[in-house]
Structure 1
Amino acid sequence: MHSIGNEALFDLRKVAFLCSRKFPQEAAEKAYRWAEAQREAGNCVISGYHSPIEKEVLCRLLQGNQPIIIALAQGLNRLDSQWERHLAAGRLLVISRYAQSVSHPCESKCYQRNKMMIDLADTVVIAHASPGGSLERLCSEHRGKVVLL
């Protein structure tokens, strides 16, 4: 695994957050309230922050001071410039299982990234898993850790 940032975040209790790319509006509303509660509680959230809801959850989490782990489905060669101050503050860890030469996520890389996050997390929160999708399949393999919003 490759990483940039505060590796001590691996030692914290972590909750993984995932959501399918297609989702009902009520899932978004629940996810945003959940993100704000995590921010207020100071909980460490790990996610790929890839789907639209996951991206908005990251925006809401970055407004706080709690630890965040970002798991990429590509190499660590293109980091968002807004993450720099959070990396410098020691509250952010960016991880990837892929070499820097891997420049684009694909469905299989996203699936493997999501599996890695579930393995690293103590709890997994799913805002929405599309029926028949890869996230639904992954959740069925890890039922004991998964909580649906």
Structure 2
Amino acid sequence: MSIAPDELHTLGNINLLRLIKTAFLCSRDYPATIERATYLWVLEQRQVGHCLLSGFHSQLEQSIFRYLLTRHYPIVYALGRGIQQGLKLEYETELAADHLLFVTPFEPRVTSTTQETADIRNLLVGDLADNFFIPYMAPDGNLQRLFDSEIVQGKPIITLDLPENQPLIQKGATIYRPNDLFGRESQP
């Protein structure tokens, strides 16, 4: 599915696509125990300066998005629908600060996200990403289908050490181990 940037509909700082983009994806129904390790990962990403890319669909993804907005972190938000008029007003400050980019392959007339548009959005995220952080992947869910596709093959994946993430680990995903403030590995 390789989509050229000029084929995308965008709103915001298109130069964010030039940064190293780490896709952050998490299944909708996830164990609450992963939240601490996920936030530790986000804090580490801020230090290395990677751009975060996501569809920000699950509750955890949305929570991370709101957290990052307040910290002027570079974000590429892939939409499963077209860019609507109100988006520019809603995120006017963040867009003006050049820390946010909305991308979508859909025309503005596509006003809601369906399973089909979500699958296309996930493929877009997979295509644009340089690497992935998947704290939790539900068995046989949307993310499982994405990671079974060719579009993500060969791209580094980091995940949490959970039984549900075994398909990712078996495909070579690295298990995330957070560092404490002094650079030592700590327990998630």
Calculate the TM-score normalised by the size of structure 1.
0.91
Picking from 58, 68, 81, the partner of 2:65 is: 58
Answering whether residue 48 of structure 2 is matched by residue 41 of structure 1, we say yes
Structure 1 residue runs without a partner (length 5+): none
TM superposition outliers: structure 1 runs of 4+ over 4 Å:
none
Structure number having the greater strand percentage: 1
Picking from 48, 66, 81, the partner of 1:74 is: 81
Picking from 125, 134, 149, the partner of 1:126 is: 134
Please state how far the C-alpha of 1:62 moved relative to its aligned partner: 1.1
Go from structure 1 to structure 2 and tell me whether the alpha carbon gap of 1:19 and 1:102 turns closer, same or farther (over 3 Å shift).
same
CA distance in 2, matches of 1:69, 1:107: 21
Please state how far the C-alpha of 1:83 moved relative to its aligned partner: 2.1
Residue 123 of structure 2: aligned partner? 115
1:41 counterpart letter in structure 2: V
Please state how far the C-alpha of 1:65 moved relative to its aligned partner: 2.4
Go from structure 1 to structure 2 and tell me whether the alpha carbon gap of 1:93 and 1:120 turns closer, same or farther (over 3 Å shift).
same
Contact kept in structure 2, 1:32 and 1:56, CA below 8 Å:
no
Please state how far the C-alpha of 1:68 moved relative to its aligned partner: 0.7
Percent identity of equivalent pairs: 36
RMSD (Å), alpha carbons: 1.6
Greater relative contact order: 1 or 2 (C-alpha under 8 angstroms, separation 6 or more)? 1
Calculate the TM-score normalised by the size of structure 2.
0.74
Picking from 145, 150, 158, the partner of 1:147 is: 158
Please state how far the C-alpha of 1:82 moved relative to its aligned partner: 4.6
Contact kept in structure 2, 1:42 and 1:65, CA below 8 Å:
no
Aligned residues: 149
Please state how far the C-alpha of 1:147 moved relative to its aligned partner: 2.1
Contact kept in structure 1, 2:88 and 2:95, CA below 8 Å:
no
Residue 31 of structure 2: aligned partner? 24
